[in-house]
Amino acid sequence: METILLIAHTEPDGSLPLSACEALAAAKAVAGQLPGSSLIAALIGEQVQAGADGIANCGAQRILAVLGPDFAQARYATDAAAAEALCRSSQATLVFAPATSRMNRMLPGVAQRLGGRVDTHVTGVVTLNAAPAVNRWYYRQRMEAQLQRTQRPWVILVDPGSTAAWTGTPGTATVETVSVTLPSEARRTVVTGIRSPAADAQTIRPEAALLFVAGAGWTKKQADGQTHVPEAEKLIFGFLKAARASLGSSKSLVDLGGEGQAVLSFLSHLNQIGQTGSTPRHQKGLATCCHGEEPHTVGWRFINERRAVNLDPNCGWARGKADVLYVADAFAVVSKVNDLLAGNR
């Protein structure tokens, strides 16, 4: 019999992020499969009522909260103190949370405080032999494991996008406030702001329907023996604007920028996908001028529909990995795509 706690932080307006509803769905599914289990929800934030109301009818027996101005900021010391208090108050044995940057930062430390264990980047939760089991990837998405633990509490951070979000009718929730007394050292760090990319900068945006992956081939010598980097930049920007796509890149292309070579000026490590970058979960992906074998292709393992434009029909990036491989010059194809998208608007 498990006491299952969903723990999440609220947005500045008090509402819950989508990823919290995804973690809630995972927690509810496990609670439903383990007879005698109970589900409790717990929220952290400056204000939480809107978020609590949003999940008022999710089936949680209690909704706990640590709230106040001290908990508005995503700060390790205060977040960890809040999460620790909520876990202790609920006496949770299984703790589910969305794997946001805020939760990823502090929940492993909380597991340590509680004498428990933690698993991050969880992509699936099932029951196996009447006990919970989680799926997660190892070696940068190159192999998938299913594992179980006997230690409790077991903190499980569910990767955003890996499960459907819980949806239900909002209600009016009764929130039980858990008080936390912060030591003075908890305020040694102050969050002073958020630095956003420049307005015209392109990054990996999870909400976009399409991920456009730019490979190192864009910066290589073309058929005329010359590089055409400015033209490549123009084409890629034009495509991103017209298709409202998110921009990812291979490590090799990003690294060239760090080494001071003339490459696509707008790429940084934040665009990097793959083993040492991110693994986005867009519905569609279009890879252009990408090359490489298995280790390099993990960056679009979780893209549902994949197409590639590449001059090499045997390229390991696309063959067996993409649904369609167009053997063609990406400069010519993307230019035509941009014309068509511009004409259709």
Q: What residues between 34 and 93 interact with other proteins by CB under 8 A? A: 74-77, 80
**Sheet bearing 117-128, strands edge to edge:** 131-138, 117-128, 154-158, 94-98, 3-9, 38-45, 62-67, 175-177
* Contact call for residues 201 and 241 (beta carbons, < 8 A): no
Among 53, 119, 159, 233, binds other proteins (CB under 8 A): 119
Q: Which of 164, 118, 123 is nearest to 146 (CA)?
A: 123
Closest separation in Å from C-beta 137 to other proteins: 7
Among 172, 179, 344, 345, binds other proteins (CB under 8 A): 344
Q: Establish if 304 lies at the interface with other proteins (CB under 8 A).
A: no
10 Å CB burial of residue 185 (0-12, 13-18, 19+) is exposed
Closest separation in Å from C-beta 61 to other proteins: 27
Among 121, 228, 234, 241, binds other proteins (CB under 8 A): 121
End-to-end CA gap in the chain = 57
Cα separations (Å) of 210 from 162, 185, 206, 244, 286? 17, 44, 9, 8, 7
Among 91, 231, 295, 304, binds other proteins (CB under 8 A): 295
Helix (H) or strand (E) holding 169: none
Binding to other proteins (CB under 8 A) within 207-226 occurs at 210
Residue 325 half-sphere exposure toward CB, CA atoms < 13 A: 17
Among 1, 130, 194, 223, binds other proteins (CB under 8 A): 194
Binding segment (CB under 8 A) for other proteins, from list 31-39, 59-67, 85-93, 138-146: 138-146
Binding to other proteins (CB under 8 A) within 227-246 occurs at 243
Closest separation in Å from C-beta 251 to other proteins: 9
Binding to other proteins (CB under 8 A) within 245-274 occurs at 258-260, 269-270, 272
Backbone CA torsion sign across 76, 78, 82, 87: positive
For residue 105, the 8-state DSSP code is: H
Among 108, 161, 168, 238, binds other proteins (CB under 8 A): 108
- CB closer to other proteins out of 133 and 178: 133
* Contact call for residues 11 and 44 (beta carbons, < 8 A): no
Among 188, 221, 224, 225, binds other proteins (CB under 8 A): 188
Among 13, 138, 167, 230, binds other proteins (CB under 8 A): 138
- CB closer to other proteins out of 62 and 152: 152
Q: Rounded distance, CA 225 to CA 231, Å?
A: 15
Closest separation in Å from C-beta 180 to other proteins: 13
Q: How far is CA 282 from the centre of its chain?
A: 11
Pairing status of strand 284-288 against strand 210-214: parallel
Among 150, 169, 172, 226, binds other proteins (CB under 8 A): 150
Bond prior to 153 in cis (omega within 30° of 0): yes
Among 118, 211, 232, 264, binds other proteins (CB under 8 A): 118
Closest separation in Å from C-beta 324 to other proteins: 5
Closest separation in Å from C-beta 221 to other proteins: 19
Record the tokens describing residue 181, joined without a space.
Answer: 């007394």
Closest separation in Å from C-beta 112 to other proteins: 4
Q: Establish if 106 lies at the interface with other proteins (CB under 8 A).
A: yes
Binding to other proteins (CB under 8 A) within 314-343 occurs at 318-329, 332-337, 339-341
In this structure, which amino acid lies at residue 147? L
